[in-house]
């Protein structure tokens, strides 16, 4: 399958996974293996630098692209500080910007996200901002140097699917950057649908971590994302209101009379 390029990194898998909500972080290597994911996000506040034996990074295999996120940031200033700490701690220069001050729905603050993205992109970060899908916001993020845009499909952790589908479709059509659907995806079919629309990738955590069998669900999501991408590249058939037979309805059972 065609590769996804972000910054100077090429990824064969278009599924990004998270590290939260697992009962045991020891599951993470198996989740990565079965899903085929090559990129994983982790909140800096989950990294225990004082106790190397209790560090989520110990469970992330070598060669997987690390995507630290600024979870917990309430404004641009806090997000920038977290990003700088992540890079100084050896987590690389990729950063997912999350700026959330809404405690009920956990919706991102698009304005503060733009500010943080501009500052960090100028400092050489590969910035992937998490946003509520809005075309004007996405265009501004392109201007200030984002490497991709990550619109939510539904509120974080809700597993409700693509509730913002039409808004995401607009971003895919209008933005010259990878559009990575992030948050709210609950089923493999949701991820497949996002990829069929032309999304560059999907990022999810809760749908795998809270499944009855997380490892099997990770495999299902990996297959769904790959299938959706193949369908998009193949070109979906035209949707019609009226029926249209696949084969002629005349000239077989009812031939012309002699």
Whether residue 202 contacts residue 195, with contact meaning beta carbons closer than 8 Å, is answered with yes
**Helical axes 76-88 vs 110-122, angle rounded to 10°:** 40
Q: Which residue from 104, 103, 89, 108 is spatially nearest to 46, judged by alpha carbons?
A: 89
Residue 41 is inside which H or E element, if any? strand 39-43
Give the per-residue pLDDT at 250. 64
Detail the DSSP E strand segments found in 183-234.
201-204
Residue 198 backbone class (left: φ over 0; alpha: ψ -120 to 50; beta: rest): left
Gyration radius of the chain over CA positions = 21
What CA–CA distances, in Å, run from 56 to 17, 60, 113, 126, 163?
A: 14, 7, 26, 22, 31
What CA–CA distances, in Å, run from 37 to 40, 77, 115?
A: 8, 31, 30
**Helical axes 214-234 vs 28-35, angle rounded to 10°:** 30
What is the pTM (predicted TM-score) of this model? 0.89
Give the per-residue pLDDT at 252. 59
Angle at 227 between CA 226 and CA 229, to 5 degrees: 65
Residue 235 backbone class (left: φ over 0; alpha: ψ -120 to 50; beta: rest): left
Q: Is 240 a catalytic residue?
A: no
* In the chain, domain spans: 10-234
Give the per-residue pLDDT at 56. 77
Burial group, residue 238, by CB count within 10 angstroms (0-12, 13-18, 19+): exposed
State the CB neighbour count (10 A cutoff) for residue 173: 11
Q: Six-digit token pair at 244? A: 């249209």
The CATH number of 10-234 is 3.20.20.70
**What are the pLDDT digits (tens) for 181-203?**
998 899 999 999 999 999 999 99
Where the chain has pLDDT below 50, the residues are: none
**What are the pLDDT digits (tens) for 144-159?**
999 999 999 999 889 8
Catalytic residue among 96, 104, 140, 230: 96
**DSSP assignment string, 146-183:** -S-BEE-SSSTT-----TTHHHHHHHHHH-SS-BEEES
Helix (H, G, I), strand (E, B) or coil at 143: helix
Strands 150-151 and 180-182: unpaired
Give the per-residue pLDDT at 239. 77
Distance CA 30, CA 90 (A): 24
């Amino acid at each position: 399958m065609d590769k996804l390029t972000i910054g100077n990194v090429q990824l064969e898998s278009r599924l990004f996974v998270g590290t939260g909500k697992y009962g045991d972080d020891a599951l993470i290597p198996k989740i990565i293996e079965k899903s085929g994911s090559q990129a994983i996000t982790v909140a800096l506040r989950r990294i225990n630098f004082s106790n190397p034996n209790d560090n989520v990074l110990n469970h992330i295999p070598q060669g997987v692209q690390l995507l630290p996120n600024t979870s917990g940031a309430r404004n641009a200033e806090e997000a920038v500080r977290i990003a700088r700490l992540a890079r100084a701690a050896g987590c690389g220069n990729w950063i997912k910007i999350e700026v959330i001050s809404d405690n009920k729905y956990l919706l991102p603050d698009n304005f503060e996200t733009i500010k943080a993205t501009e500052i960090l992109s100028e400092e050489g970060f590969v910035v992937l901002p998490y946003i509520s899908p809005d075309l004007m916001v996405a265009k501004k993020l392109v201007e200030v140097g984002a490497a991709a845009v990550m619109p939510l499909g539904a509120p974080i952790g809700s597993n409700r699917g693509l509730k913002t589908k039409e808004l995401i479709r607009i971003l895919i059509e209008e933005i010259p950057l990878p559009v990575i659907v992030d948050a709210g995806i609950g089923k493999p079919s949701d991820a497949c649908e996002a990829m069929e629309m032309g999304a560059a990738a999907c990022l999810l955590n809760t749908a795998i971590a809270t499944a009855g069998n997380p490892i099997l669900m990770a495999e299902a999501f990996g297959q769904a994302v790959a299938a959706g991408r193949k369908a998009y590249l193949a070109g979906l058939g035209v949707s019609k209101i009226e029926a249209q037979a696949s084969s002629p309805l005349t000239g077989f059972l009812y031939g012309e009379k002699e």
